Structure 1
Amino acid sequence: MSRSGPLLLSIGVVAIEFAAAVTGFVASTLLPVVAVDLAAKDQLGLLIAGTTLGLFVALPLASRVLNRLGARATLAAGMISYLGGLALAATSQTAWVFALGQFCAGTASGLLGVFGISAAIQHLDDRLRVRVVAVSSAMWIVPALVGPAATLGLEQLVGWRWTLLLPVPFVLFGRLLVVRAVRSPVDAAPRPWGRTLLIPLGALVVVLSAGWWPPAIVGASVTVVGMMSLMPTGTARLRPGTPAALGAMMLFGVGYFGADSLITVLLTDGFRMSLGQAAVILSAAPLGWAVTSLVAAQLTSPHLPAIGLGMTALATGAIALGGSFPVLLIAWGVGGIGVGLAYPGLYVRATTAGSSGFTATELATAVITAECTGQLLGRAIGGALASTSTWGLFASYAVFTLALAAAALAARARS
């Protein structure tokens, strides 16, 4: 890597996070509109889990494609797949076709996922990495302030289908910077096919269970088994240090991202709020997360991850209890502040080898797998429950609250 490589890589990672913020706000804001237009209120799991399912299918492919094609050709193949998937979702007439389009887009994003994070772990020291995490969190500030309103305005102007394409230029920019900074593949050893594919396979069973508990429990169990088979030894037991941090990261993904993916549906269907009010509340947590991360990155207390995750658990439970618009806005904002306190320290702890001997690739694989498995499980379980009835929607928030409380307990186990 050249002398300017670490700076370029850092900017690329931050740009990718900005693109993720734009993508997240567009998807969450449009979810109620898409569900109504596609007559898919009983298929919410399909609408929200397709992207993450595609990511896990891509993970075994990523290192193989990179080693064979190189970074530039992989970028080109990934962007063609990404654009094709978005086009398919934007022209869909059914939930299944929409999910297939999101699946293709997620697969494309996963092609460079391990490459980018492995490069950051290998080429950025711990001090720079924690700053990159903090600045990446700050990239949610502008999208949180203007994203929901801009998405709703654009949806009214051109419809949700064209609005779905809004993140494209931001995604392109970030990926180009990362590939330019690290021109050759990182030490990305091929991931095992079978164990990696257990994760999306189990989640798909949860999505298709439509709230029927026996297959849902089996599917969730298969996903967890697949994840644990890829984790460092001791993760299932929450062994202090990196393993406990990875376990906490997975539980955090279940609770926070599950709740975030359904909050607009909870507010509009469960509490009969307008989509505009729901969009404002949606932005409160990411805004709190982003601003707080800038401060938390300067703090060294080992207790911050547990304290922050405990705050987010309480806030998620409070959201499910309902209340006036100001009360829910404050509650979800407090949840984001908790994540802002917890995430920088938790992420660095999960990606720091210490004396364990983990390589950059192993850590990149583990942290991607842990957080994304949590996201996938949270969205799959939440979508399956919410598709059954309004009571199922509220039950999903009980699950999210328990997951975050468990993450707070896991975060207490430190080296």
Structure 2
Amino acid sequence: MSDSVQGQWSEIFTPRYATVTLILCLGVALLAFNSFLATVSLPTAVGELGGVALISWALTLFLVFAIVGGAGAALLKHRLGARTALLVSAGVFLIGTLIAASASSMPIVLVGRSLQGLGEGVVAAICFALIPELFPSRLVPKVFGMQAMIWAIAAFGGPAVAGLLTEMVSWRAAFLFSVPLVLIFGVMVAFVVPAKSPSDGTVMGFPGLRLLAIGVGIMLVALAGIAEPLLAAALLMGAAVLLVAAVWLDGRSAERLMPPDAFRPVSVVGTGLWMTLLINVAGAGSAVYLVLVLQQMWGYGPTMAGVIAAVMAVAWSASAIAVANVRQKETRKLLIKAGPAMIGIGLLLVLLGLEMDLLAIVVVGQLVIGSGFGTCNGYLNLTMMEAASDAERDRTSALMPTTQSAGNAIGAALAGVAANSAGLATAVSVGDFKVAVMPVFLLGAFMAALAFVAAWRTVSLVKPQDANSSFAAG
């Protein structure tokens, strides 16, 4: 793509692209709103059904199955075609939603949440894979900007909708909020998304061992977040072995789930995936603990603490939209490198604000963190898409949201280990909390520094011909 060719925001809303844009936004909305709806409504569900010990598993199982679904999405798209794969996975999500909403016990809620995660993992990954198929390169940053805007809307609107529905109707109504979204999504997919069949008649095997290794590995990561430090270390080591084994096995399989250079620091795709993983690991600790810490340290209510946490999502959206018109390749490379640096600086500012009891610094830190994600995320994804070969673009694109989810899971677990080791679970005074949160944010800043190294390596590997692929030329 020539730097002189620049897409306008209005173009993604023209008749040619408007329906596709809406489909992709709905796919993101399913995940974004469902995340906030479940977080707000589940405590009430536990109060009615019992099983408080299982509440954390409602998120854990959703995340594990979402990652497994995302890992297998490219293969599913190849075997069934994009339209059928999206309709099947949306159907699985819908069934999971109905099961969770009608559950008579928490174990049944967990079954529903698992199916929701599996369906949403596939939907999110295939929606990512469709971006380079349905949009020219010049419009991709705008698409990512729109998706960031959906997350910001969900960050503010999701808790409000869930709270109102839970209080005025029931927690079941909050779960059912996703039903019209998935139905509209399914109808639009059926009429708009192309039904491409596999490129050949080859019958492809089911990658059960690799998906099992990925699923168990992420499960061990989740368990590490709530375990004692020594056991947590052992669980994380076991998870690392399983996840590395899954990547190794995949690289030697005839029917791969991932591109051949996934997580190998010799290509743009390999280092780009590392950067994707690390920035999400970096941001997860703040996402998990900031609301809790603001309530415990400063006595804020859930709404006020939630608004401060949501500042990051708004900054993410605003910055993604602000940089979406950048044309110069060198400027895009600079933005990719700036993102992790901003995330690290923002985390340190939030920590400083908490330690000094200064809300203004915390808010500024949140703004910097969100701006860091919004600044680099779209162009990092675009760079990997452009660098991938035509044969590997589906696998590369589908792996991006899966890697983001894995980073969030790993980051939450590592933050849990750091917080528990520092005594967060037994903290009672403000001083105790200040000591306990310090390793959480320092760990995040360290991960952001590693992401900066990966970003530097990624842009240094970009070749001029990467921007001249059939995708970029579209």
TM-score, normalising length: structure 2: 0.73
- Relative to structure 1, the CA distance from residue 282 to residue 324 in structure 2 (aligned partners, 3 Å threshold; closer, same or farther) is same
CA contact (8 A) 1:227 1:369 kept: no
Residues 1:399 and 2:443 aligned together: yes
Equivalent position to 2:384, from 326, 346, 350: 350
Structure 2 letter corresponding to 1:359: E
Match of 2:23 in 1: 12
Cα deviation, residue 30, structure 1: 5.1
Residues 1:409 and 2:453 aligned together: yes
SS of alignment partner, residue 386 of structure 2: coil
Structure 2 letter corresponding to 1:336: G
Structure 2 distance, partners of 1:242, 1:70, is 24
- Relative to structure 1, the CA distance from residue 364 to residue 149 in structure 2 (aligned partners, 3 Å threshold; closer, same or farther) is same
Structure 2 distance, partners of 1:278, 1:331, is 15
CA contact (8 A) 1:70 1:184 kept: yes
- Relative to structure 1, the CA distance from residue 163 to residue 126 in structure 2 (aligned partners, 3 Å threshold; closer, same or farther) is same
Match of 2:129 in 1: 118
Cα deviation, residue 279, structure 1: 1.6
Match of 1:195 in 2: 210
Q: Which has the larger radius of gyration?
A: 2
CA contact (8 A) 1:60 1:193 kept: no
Per-residue CA distance 1:213-270 (angstroms, 9 max, x = gap): 2123322442354356565455545335232212101112222245424443343356
Counterpart mapping for 1:4-403 below 5 A:
6-29=17-40, 46-59=57-70, 62=73, 74-75=85-86, 77-90=88-101, 97-185=108-196, 192-209=207-224, 210-211=226-227, 212=231, 213-227=233-247, 229=250, 231-232=258-259, 235-239=262-266, 241-257=268-284, 259-269=286-296, 272-299=299-326, 300=328, 301=331, 302-320=333-351, 322=354, 323-353=357-387, 359-382=392-415, 390=424, 394=437, 395-403=439-447
- Relative to structure 1, the CA distance from residue 61 to residue 348 in structure 2 (aligned partners, 3 Å threshold; closer, same or farther) is closer
Greater displacement, 120-129 / 23-32: 23-32
Per-residue CA distance 1:169-214 (angstroms, 9 max, x = gap): 2343334434432231465877733223322211112323432221
Root-mean-square deviation (CA, aligned residues, Å) is 3.6
Structure 1 letter corresponding to 2:215: P
- Relative to structure 1, the CA distance from residue 60 to residue 277 in structure 2 (aligned partners, 3 Å threshold; closer, same or farther) is closer
Cα deviation, residue 70, structure 1: 6.0
Structure 2 letter corresponding to 1:216: L
CA contact (8 A) 1:71 1:184 kept: yes
Structure 1 distance, partners of 2:214, 2:442, is 23
- Relative to structure 1, the CA distance from residue 241 to residue 75 in structure 2 (aligned partners, 3 Å threshold; closer, same or farther) is closer
Structure 1 unmatched ranges of 5 or more: none
CA contact (8 A) 1:13 1:178 kept: no
Structure 1 letter corresponding to 2:334: H
Cα deviation, residue 328, structure 1: 2.8
